[in-house]
Amino acid sequence: MRLKSIAIVSVAAMLVAQAGLAADWRSIASDGEEHVEIDKARIARVGGGKTMAWSRLVLGRELKVDDGQTYSAVEALNRYNCEKRSFATVKRVYLQDGKPVKQESIATPKEMQAAPDSIDDKLLVEACKFRTVGEMQKIAKAADMAVATDPAPTPEQPPKAMYADMRRAGETKQPSLYPVEATPPAKMGLSPKAELAAKAAAEMPPPPPSAQPVQPARSAAGRANVDTYTYMRSARNTRKKAAPVVEPPMAAPVHWGYAGEGAPANWAKLRPDYATCGNGKRQSPIDIRDGIRVDLEPIKFDYKPTLFRIIDNGHTVQTNVGAGSTISVMGRQFELMQLHFHRPAEERVNGKTYDMVVHLVHKDLDNQLAVIAVLLENGSENPVIQTLWNNLPLEVGQDVAPSVAINLNGLLPENRHYWTYMGSLTTPPCTEDVLWMVLKQPVQVSAEQIAIFSRLYRNNARPIQPTSGRLIKESR
CA-to-CA dists, residue 168 to 38, 106, 172, angstroms: 20, 9, 9
Q: How far apart are CA 43 and CA 49, in angstroms?
A: 13
β-bridge partners, 369: 363
Q: Where does 341-464 have alpha helices with state H?
A: 383-390, 447-456
Rounded distance between C-alpha atoms, residue 184 and residue 177, angstroms: 19
Pairing of strands 50-64, 86-96: unpaired
Alpha-carbon distance 260 to 459, whole Å?
Answer: 13
Angle between helices 447-456 and 383-390 (to 10 degrees): 40
Q: Which of 359, 322, 380 is nearest to 435 (CA)?
A: 359
Return d(Cα 213, Cα 234) in angstroms, integer: 7
Q: Checking DSSP bridges between strand 432-439 and strand 369-378, what pairing results, if any?
A: parallel
Measure the CA–CA gap between 353 and 193, rounded to whole angstroms. Answer: 31
Q: Are 365 and 428 in contact (CB under 8 A)?
A: no
231 CA to centre of own chain? 28
* Pairwise CA distance, residues 182 & 200, whole Å: 18
Residue 335, strand partner residues: 326, 363
Bridge partner list, 43: 53
CB 430 within 8 A of CB 277: yes
Q: If residue 374 lies in a helix (H) or strand (E), which one and from where to where?
A: strand 369-378
Q: Find all residues with CB under 8 Å of 85, minimum gap 6, and list them.
A: 113, 114, 121, 124
Q: Which of 255, 315, 342, 359 is catalytic?
A: 315
Question: Does the active-site annotation cover 315?
Answer: yes
One-letter amino acid of 417: H
Determine how β-strand 99-105 pairs with β-strand 326-329.
Answer: unpaired
CB 124 within 8 A of CB 82: yes
Contact yes or no for 285/464 (Cβ under 8 A): yes
CA torsion 328-469-274-317 (nearest 10°) is -50
Give catalytic residues, as residue numbers. 315
